[in-house]
Amino acid sequence: MKHLSILVPDVQAGPNTLSCIVGAYHIFTEANKYRNQHNQPEVFSIELAGVTGQSSFVNGLLTIMPQVHVDTIHKTDLIIIPAIAAAFKEVEAGNAVLVDWILKQYKIGAEVASMCTGAYILASTGLLDKKSCSIHWNAAANFRTLFPKVNLKAEKLITDEEGIYTNGGGYSFLNLLIYLVEKYYDRQTAIYCSKIFQIDIDRQTQSDFVIFSGQKSHGDEVIRQAQEYIEENFAEKLSVEQLSKRFTVGRRNFDRRFIKATGNTPVEYQQRVKIESAKKALETSRKTINEVMYEVGYADVKAFREVFRKITGMSPLEYKSKYNKSMGNF
């Protein structure tokens, strides 16, 4: 039987930390139960592992008592890191012990999965350097600043690379758990768990949940001004040459500084601002797709649809149908 360690952080925890811990324990316990019912062996022995005898959550309203101290686990097969508070700067106190233990276990064969902002702890081990990683879209800018060596894929729901798994934000950790059940158990057990817990199986993206807000805490005042100019004039056709001249920066240098500061090229940034405006119009108005398209500065229907799908993972009509049912589609 394999061993599953669900970590219980003692500091930097947030409300979703508890949800992740309880959700992981519940789903894997149910997967074991399903195997038992079908005369198959359980896959995991499951333990909640921490660094103290008791950890508090939600301003002390709730507590969890880890079953074991991580130091007593000499070998585990899968480590699950729950979400932590999003206001992360560096690993604090007891979580440093968890970081060292995770790194040690990975080196001797364990796989590691982080949920949402649990990626902060995982990235602190160095194991995510030059690897793909997902996180809640609202934490992406801060994460990029702290861990520039990580290949952040905030649009992805799940990443899977070299025995390291990450997932997007909020309660999408449930999708990661179903993904792991299928990997470690089998497809049928995953389907069963998805039905019992009513979780969509095979969901791949969180793009349509993203609310774009340009990263402006980078310290480059010229680029910050350029961002604001783009946001105020997004419906206009702005070339990179126009922008670089307006802010008296050479084209190549402007491109380089813009990417370094925001994580997007100037063109990508303009597209994201346009599509964010289009999304809001599709969510809240009775405007047609074409009306919205023209308002945000597109004249070509095909180009608008392609960019919209690239950023949100769905067509403008699909998006309107999903988020604005009371308004109708036209």
Write the pLDDT tens digit of every residue in 99-149.
999 999 999 999 999 999 999 999 999 999 999 999 998 899 899 999 999
**What is the pTM for the complete model shown?**
0.69
Task: Please give the structure tokens belonging to residue 72.
Answer: 């007593």
Q: Give backbone dihedrals phi and psi of 4, rounded to 5 degrees, phi first.
A: -115, 125
Q: What does each C-alpha distance from 133 to 25, 113, 136, 241 come to in angstroms?
A: 23, 11, 10, 33
CATH class of 2-209: alpha beta
pLDDT band at 329 (very low <50, low <70, confident <90, very high): very low
Average pLDDT, the chain: 90
Q: What are the φ/ψ torsions at residue 57 (nearest 5 degrees)?
A: -135, 160
The answer, yes or no, to whether residue 52 has pLDDT greater than 90, is no
CB 216 within 8 A of CB 74: no
Q: What is the mean pLDDT of residues 290-296?
A: 93
Q: How far apart are CA 64 and CA 83, in angstroms?
A: 15
Q: Do 2-209 and 221-327 agree at the fold level?
A: no
Residue ranges covered by each domain of the chain: 2-209, 221-327
Both tokens assigned to 94: 């007891």
Cα dihedral 114→117→118→123 (10° resolution): 90
Which pLDDT value is given to residue 177? Answer: 96
Pick the more confident residue, 91 or 208.
91
Tokens for 130, please give them. Answer: 């030059």
pLDDT tens profile 54-75: 887 777 778 888 999 999 999 9
Radius of gyration of the chain (CA): 22
Tell me what percent of the residues of the chain surpass a pLDDT of 90. 64
CATH architecture, domain 221-327? Orthogonal Bundle (1.10)
User: Rounded mean pLDDT of 160-169?
Assistant: 91
Q: How far apart are CA 71 and CA 227, in angstroms?
A: 48
